[in-house]
Structure 1
Amino acid sequence: MLQETFFFSIFKAFFIAFGVIVGGSILGGFAAFMTNKPMLTETYELSANLRIWAIIAAIGGTFDTVYSLEKGLMDGDTKVLFKQFLFILSALWGAQVGFSLITWLTQGEIKG
């Protein structure tokens, strides 16, 4: 089994968070359309509500990240701390870009 490089993991975290936001919002908007609810409003609201879940999915759950952060803080391993910070930052950025795309596509919060 090949070991993932650091930069591959950073890009993977970004695109997983981005995909959770965009995919979940679009499929949820389709479900809203099928149940006769306002599709654009539901799509926008789903993208806002899915952000934390996208970040958690992108970093692979919270326990590994918390353990790595604890190891970095308690053992003084700044390299591990910096890597975990970049993973979390990449996931945050992916979720924000996905949310911005959905906001742009739906023109913000549309009531009606």
Structure 2
Amino acid sequence: MSPLVSKAIIDFFIAFGVVFGGSMLAGIGSVFVLMPPAAIMLKTASQLKIWALVAAVGGSIDPIRVIESNFLEGHLSPVAQQIALIICSFLGAHMGTELIRWMCRGAV
């Protein structure tokens, strides 16, 4: 398997895990403080979505620098790779959010 595909799959699951795991743990914590778990899980999933994306792509501004420097030099392949990794991370975060929404539907 190519390194790009491997990295894309890992980024997908990192973002998915951040949203899903964070929301599930927030739901468990909400039980301890006597708050409605489904509402807390839904709110947490939507708030964690962007942070899951940031965590998956490296947690810093480096991916944006790679895009900028390579684009300005005319090297479009690394730019396309970085954008593909960002899209895979977004899809993972979005799938995690949608799974939480699906689990909580009817409970709120």
Query: If the length of structure 1 is used for normalisation, what is the TM-score?
Result: 0.91
Secondary structure at the residue paired with 2:84?
Answer: helix
Q: How do 1:1-112 residues align onto structure 2 when only pairs under 5 Å count?
A: 5-107=3-105, 110=108
Moved over 3 A (4+): none
SS of 1:56's equivalent in the other structure is helix
Aligned residues: 107
Q: Could you list the runs of 5+ residues in structure 2 that have no partner in the other structure? A: none
Q: After superposition, what is the alpha-carbon deviation per residue over 1:13-59, rounded to whole angstroms, capped at 9, x for unaligned?
A: 10000000000000011001111001110011100110000000000
User: Identity of aligned pairs, percent?
Assistant: 31
- Please list every run of 5 or more consecutive structure 1 residues that lacks an aligned counterpart in the other structure: none
RMSD: 1.4
Report the Cα offset of residue 6 of structure 1: 1.1
Taking structure 1 as reference, are residues 50 and 108 closer, same or farther at Cα in structure 2, changes over 3 Å only?
farther
